[in-house]
Structure formats: structure tokens, C-alpha cells
Amino acid sequence: MSAGDPSGAPPDTIWEQAHDSAEFRELRGRLRRFVFPMAGLFLAWYLLYVLLADYAHGFMSTKIAGNFTVGLLFGLLQFVSTFLITWLYVRYANKKLDPLAERIKDDIENPEKEGA
């Protein structure tokens, strides 16, 4: 029994109840609905960059301005897309994930409120 657990239930039981709850399944689903498509898009974008760099030398060495090439632009856009994905995730998490996670945490820490 945990000293911080007022219900007296073993910690494993509390975790199992939280894990099996509809709210936790919803949280996991929301996370997966963002992460899997975004990861797939990013990996496809990165694969395109690698394949173009390896097989389309002429295209990637096309000069845009001065010595600035399409390949360099695509490489810089990899960084931009990483920051964009991070920003989108933080925004999504703040709106869709964190409130639900906070509710689950409150239910675990304050089981007496659940019936109210």
C-alpha cells in the first residue's frame, strides 16, 4: 500500500483501473491520431529528400539564387518542418491531451470525487 493512496487499494490495482478506463483509452486514441499520421508524413517527407538527393542530382543542384540550390532549400525545410511539427504537437497536446490527462490524474489522486 502506498503512503499517498487514501483509498488503500494497491498501486497496481489503481493503475489497472486507470489504464482500463474509457478516458485513458480516449487519451491514447487522441495521441495516436496525431502521432502516427504526423510521423508518417515526416518520414515520407524525409525519404523524399534523401531519394532526391541520391537520384536527382540535376534537380537538387539547380541554383535558386547565387549558390543557393534546391537541395539546400530542401535541407533547410527539414529543420523548418521539425519545428512546425513540434509547434503543432504542443498546440494539440495543450488543447486535446493535457485536459484529459489532468482529469485522469485527478481521478487517480482523488478517488472520492469520482462519485460526486
pLDDT tens digits for 3-59? 455 556 566 777 788 888 899 999 999 999 999 999 999 999 999 999 999 999 999
Q: Is the whole-model pTM more than 0.85?
A: no
pLDDT in tens, 60-75: 999 999 999 999 999 9
What is the identity of the amino acid at 11?
P
Angle at 78 between CA 55 and CA 54, to 5 degrees: 10
Cross-strand bridge partners of residue 68: 65
Question: pLDDT band at residue 2, thresholds of 50, 70 and 90?
Answer: very low
Question: pLDDT band at residue 1, thresholds of 50, 70 and 90?
Answer: very low
Sign of CA dihedral 42, 43, 47, 48: negative
Cβ pair 101, 21 in contact under 8 A? no
Residue 65, SS3?
Answer: strand
